[in-house]
Chain A
Amino acid sequence: MAAGRTASRAAQALILAVVVGLLALLVTTTADHLQQRGIRSGFDFLLEPAGFSIGESLLPVEAEDSTLRAFAAGLLNTLRVALPGALLATLIGVLAGFGRLADNPLVRGLASAYVNAFRNIPLLLQLLAWYFLLTDLLPATDAALRVAPGVFLSKSGLALPWWVDGALEIPEPGGFGIDGGARLTPEYLAILLGLTFYSAAYIAETLRGAVEALPPGQRLSALALGMTPRQAFVLVLLPQAWRAALPPVTSQLLNLFKNASLAVAIGYPDLVSVAGTSLNQTGRAIECLAIVIAVYLLLSLLAAALSHRLEQRALRGQAA
């Protein structure tokens, strides 16, 4: 036994030595290369001017603002698209999931067609299509579509009523396009729609799987007790399926957060996109990517903790 422990210690020491050795080699090679290319390292650049501006942000960034501010604006932009996206995806996903389980063949067919199409085409390709539809096929700003009173859709995005200085301001067609209210850019709309419909298809499928995995006796007993099929679904099947679906749905929503990074492909300034721009400006690839990776790891940890608490609560509900 003692010999075994010594061997195990020796093996671990060897592994550690190899890993440390490789890391040291990596660090020295990288340091050499940075020196050759005249790139300084360190995070001091975060306090220096960003050198680029971000037009679309809750936190306006001008070229002379700090890089740190640009990163913060990027993170806010990621959240600005991922949070509403998560909400909408859950909503549409649940609806489509119900649709796939419906008795009505028309509804079931429609829901299946949606899930099948959106799950089997890459998200990036879907984003490109949304962006093309929003920027090429919509009318120009001066001929904006009036979707609802005070809501206008055109090549330059969606204009909708918004609170300005405490009063609701309603957009109106003016001399140069649409005046007043809030404006959502085509880039934002494309990534929001893309993320929503892609993730919703996965959530629908998860929910359907969870309901179909329940023992058939559950439904039959409910029917035998005199419930209608709809009552059996809502009162007996759904609460049980929801518990089983919770972990995979949380993981789908986490995927949605990670997929928000595809924004870079259509020019929406999310965190990854800002990191890419800053990387090109400063050459500090290691630092910029380290920030991106750290933020996403932190988000993953948060999501894991949250999902753990939800599961615990669901389990307690089951025990009670």
Chain B
Amino acid sequence: MMLVTLRRRFFGDGLNTALTLLVLAALALCLPPLLNWAVINARFAPDAAACETLDHAGACWGVVAEKARFILLGRYPADQAWRPFLAAGLITGSWLAAAFGWLRGGKLASALFLAPLLALPLLGGGLAGLSDVPTELWGGLPLTLLLTSAGMAGALPLGIAVAYGRRSALPILRGLLTGYVELARGIPLVAALFVASFLLPLFFPDGVAVDMLWRVLIAIVLFAAAYLSEIVRGGLQAFPAGQLDAALALGFNRWQTQRWIVLPQVLRDVAPSLANSAIALFKDTSLVTIVSLYELTGSLGLALAGDPQWRPFYLEAWLFIAAIYWLGCALLAKVSQRLG
């Protein structure tokens, strides 16, 4: 019985047989050279001279060991490396707690908001005896994680407020907010980052100099909030009206109804979509390298561009970073599943 099913699936008819053979042939053609390059001929020690003699017949994974600190932490001072590692650990920890259900409800929400809030002073210093580290030096994985989690933490409250505002009875408020949401959703993030980089400094009053990191974070929050507000608005629209009547009948006022009846349920309903937005943002943070913030993608270029000895092994280092992004996306996808 098993065999019959298998035979039908692989060789059911002409087309199926042709596809099976085609895929097998492609695998036979590609896998051995790939295996040779990645494992059999590869070198794992960070020895550039030995790697050069390979002439790309095998991968030079040593580049990852050699450049790991630079790729992972960017230009952050080496003697303070524990701080960005701890910051990255806090944020990853909050995501793990969401993905594996270690925390739930209000505790989970607090953890997700607190992690970036704690990561900020940890990276920047200036209190509890931590030395000051200017934001220009922040980089690598902690910056990627910080931009994602702080971006989401800032964008969600704003998105909820905008979603309510667009359901308000005041036409002017609705019009202004609709304009903002359509504007933010209509332009590419690169354009928003250019605005943060070139326009925001002109907008701030005299004597107020805001670091690029903060300007970029403002742009990310405003950009993401537009998308989140659409998700929350969809959730509010789908909310059954009967519950509102029931709440009124029980003596809840309008504010209490929203706070205790509507919002908790709507947020739970849209949580998977919010997590999917976090995945999109996690990948989009790579664009900040265009305005010279060296998060994971930017630090890859920074680590290899100026180093002729290791530059030829860009592909190996690239695969390392791609794997990190892939794992991050998989973790957030798990969060989305768990919350669903």
Contact = CB atoms under 8 A, between A and B. Distances in A.
Given A104-B16, A107-B19, A122-B284, A33 B202 contact: yes
B289 A124 contact: yes
B10 A297 contact: no
Contacts of A103: 8-9, 12, 16
Chain B interface, >50% SS class: helix
A156 B330 CA distance: 37
A30 interface: yes
B286 A285 contact: no
B287 A124 contact: yes
Interface range for B: 35 or more
Contacts of B190: 261-262, 264, 272
Interface in B228-248: none
B149 to A, nearest CB: 17
B31 interface: no
Given A30-B203, A122-B286, A289 B195 contact: yes
Contacts of B201: 33
A132 interface: yes
B106 interface: no
B314 interface: yes
A293 interface: yes
Contacts of B20: 104, 106-107
A29 B205 contact: yes
Contacts of A123: 283, 286
A136 B314 contact: yes
Contacts, number: 142
B186 A106 contact: no
Interface string B1-18: 000000011101000100
Given A128-B318, A258-B187, A297-B182, 18 more contacts: A19-B176, A104-B9, A106-B23, A106-B24, A107-B20, A110-B23, A117-B326, A121-B326, A122-B297, A128-B301, A136-B314, A259-B188, A262-B190, A272-B191, A289-B199, A296-B187, A297-B183, A297-B187
18 contacts: A8-B169, A8-B170, A11-B173, A26-B203, A29-B206, A103-B8, A104-B9, A104-B19, A106-B23, A125-B321, A125-B322, A258-B188, A259-B188, A261-B188, A289-B191, A289-B195, A297-B183, A300-B186
Interface of B: 8-10, 12, 16, 19-20, 23-24, 169-173, 176, 182-183, 185-191, 194-195, 198-199, 201-206, 283-284, 286-287, 289-290, 297, 300-301, 312, 314-315, 318, 321-322, 325-326, 329-330, 333
4 interchain residue pairs of minimum CB distance: A120-B329, A258-B188, A285-B198, A300-B186
